[in-house]
Structure 1
């Protein structure tokens, strides 16, 4: 991606797809995370671009004004499925649920336990939330899962219990329900062409982008695949993509995360996400958003912005 000299933010929005494509220059594709339902895709795309440009201006450059930018939007589709399946959040469960509820509870328990261990939250801190309940601890004991989530909320780095519950629910639906994954993947794949494309993804969007890139049979060219705030290395998520492999269309994979971001505590390294060629990990990001996970706290990071711009 050829960088331009620093320009006013207003110039950023002068995107001319046909010109960029005709010139054979690199395209930019953003893949958003969860919780975007009801929002305007064009507004979101502009916000992502403006945030990225804040990062690039720290080293005296800017995103080219004529770059072809795609922003596939699946927020409303995901919301449709969360309502359709009606899986209750753990904090709302009062009794044993349906088999689907139990399947989700097992997934959420594994995800939460991985976060707990990586975040250094002790058994004693979980026990303090669980209390004297004599029921055995385990993934199908919703009170025990609640206790883990509360302990993460109270002793973690900013992501509250409700947000973590909705995050794991949405990741569960996407990774375990083929119909959900297929429809969302089609939306993202529909914005990919054989034009060289830098793919920048966030949160659940990193899971979606990985799914699309590893299964697409076209001759795609992705000089750089960027994942930020990614949960892909959490075993509950990772195991949905066995066997693991790096997408053949990807030349380089760059993963950035804040070590305080509870969704992305595990790096995509040889221990947690063994693929060849290996993934470049950047754990130095200090995400300035309240929960350490927001996209603006990643895209305006100078190192992340420079990696994207230099692709």
Structure 2
């Protein structure tokens, strides 16, 4: 028999009591370092890597921390958030609904797939309970303060019902209502099993229906207190009815499934009131001294639920969670090719009918799963689409040409590997990242000098103008200080741009690889990032004749640099043959330091300045989450 809510609260209280020495040590570290972030070093590294964009690897992240506590400052600089924080939170909240039970009880659940709802086991302990329940979305106040009209969806445990009492989690299918699939209207949360989503001291934001009331959000002053193997402890204002609420980080990624408040107890396990006396049921829940909240770690939830899927039909439905959530899922099939095997190829959009959406990635993607990368891009775009009231994007719709392994094979040993061989710091980032070949090295130096010049850098007269140990390293340091990106990160970006531009074999093989997974006819929206924007401009000179690029999106692009655009196949900043060109750039993105593109490319390009977080200035997900960028794409697809 599944534990009751009271039993779950007793278990949570025991876990909290047993962790008292660990919390005391955390508080000591917080006081000593002057920062709220006081987690294990591997957790802090994983979090910093994710915020930076997961592009340079843990060694490079460690190199970024040149002074003690630098990573902690990256994660928790202050409590200010970009203005899009509220818009994204509002869009995310649409996927959260109130669960109404046949016995009159209520809980919270949230969509994690087009037709998948996640909540607690103590809310939906079995198929019979789920069959008699329904979920309501839009049970909230509108912008004018008036109640919205809620929409009810029956639960469909016959299609899927998985539950685990140990971590208090239940996953259930949601039946369509009047022909509408819930996720198509309200969107869903893309769950991630990887580490690095939150660390002790960071904010934990909760959305739910406390006491069955209309939707409420607990934001700010809600900090992660402790990380246990299966659970997280955090501060937050919650009430009964919040059971099954999603717990988010500041990027609105789900980090936990909330299931219980944690009462203060004495050594005998008895609950205590605020004044320290033993609590009794007659006093009511308001008298309890609630000291924390507890939620199951979402990575643990995913692992447990995946293990419960025992039939092919259950596994097929569970696949709607996406490749980044699935543990032990079968590998994604990719397009076959007769060329030399240098790793994975891209994935085609399905259904294979126009209009087509194509995502064209940048560098440092070797060894990655193209389907997982595609899901990352689609997740960012879905956030932006939700902010303007558009339905979410099904990642499977997008084509994802993948040249990451091919480029890495052509480039030879990666700069990150070289960095690992020189951890004593004797070799600078510029030396490590310089591309092979004298011509490519000259282009590399010109790229960095060009970018630094646009950022206001003037080399010292004593420095050799083309010397990688002189001007280039100083320029990298200048760009890093302006953008708050690590100089190795910047150097790596320019390294492969230079290699691509100056080595015709590299350029040709990259373009051929992209065209292997590219539509051959019909209208296309081409969305590109970083080095991918350079590849995209060259690609436009080689696209099949029956392809019509109606929208080109470039994000985080170095195309504003003269040393880049003059080496394009078109021979300079000449307007491409596209219906519309939108360019997204961020002031803190050192790779796009030459943006906006208008001064170089003329009025044919629409420049959009985005407000990406400083710690994710070059992130494609952040660029695509901008409402203006997402709106432009949404109009086409």
After TM superposition, the score normalised by the length of structure 2 is 0.41
CA gap of 1:299–1:101, structure 2 versus 1, over 3 A, is same
Contact 1:107 1:172 in 2 (8 A): yes
Deviations 1:148-204 (A, max 9, x none): 212322x22122111111111100111111111111111222223212111111101
Rg larger for? 2
Q: Tell me the equivalent position of 1:304.
A: 629
How far is 1:268 from its partner? 5.2
Q: Which runs of 5+ in 2 are unaligned?
A: 1-183, 191-319, 324-346, 420-426
Q: Tell me the equivalent position of 1:259.
A: 587
Partners of 1:301 and 1:181 lie apart in 2 by 31
Q: Tell me the equivalent position of 2:368.
A: 39
Q: Over the residues paired in the alignment, what is the CA RMSD in angstroms?
A: 3.1
Partners of 1:192 and 1:268 lie apart in 2 by 29
Contact 2:524 2:551 in 1 (8 A): yes
Contact 2:358 2:527 in 1 (8 A): yes
Please give the residue correspondences for 1:216-231 in structure 2 after superposition, counting only pairs within 5 Å: 216-231=543-558
Match of 2:539 among 212, 227, 230: 212
Q: Tell me the equivalent position of 1:185.
A: 511
How far is 1:102 from its partner? 3.6
Please give the residue correspondences for 1:41-120 in structure 2 after superposition, counting only pairs within 5 Å: 41-65=370-394, 68-83=397-412, 91=428, 101-120=437-456
Flag the structure with higher helix content: 1
Partners of 2:390 and 2:321 lie apart in 1 by 12
How far is 1:235 from its partner? 1.1
Q: Tell me the equivalent position of 1:8.
A: 188
Partners of 1:16 and 1:152 lie apart in 2 by 37
How far is 1:8 from its partner? 2.6
Partners of 1:229 and 1:141 lie apart in 2 by 24
Structure 2 SS opposite 1:8: coil
CA gap of 1:292–1:85, structure 2 versus 1, over 3 A, is closer
Partners of 2:370 and 2:396 lie apart in 1 by 17
Matched pairs, number: 287
Q: Which runs of 5+ in 1 are unaligned?
A: none
How far is 1:219 from its partner? 2.4
Structure 2 SS opposite 1:206: helix
How far is 1:45 from its partner? 0.8
Q: Tell me the equivalent position of 1:286.
A: 611
Deviations 1:263-296 (A, max 9, x none): 112335453124xx7111112x011251511111
Matched, 1:174 2:500: yes
Q: Which has the higher contact order (CA 8 A, sep 6+)?
A: 1
Partners of 2:385 and 2:493 lie apart in 1 by 30
Contact 1:149 1:161 in 2 (8 A): yes
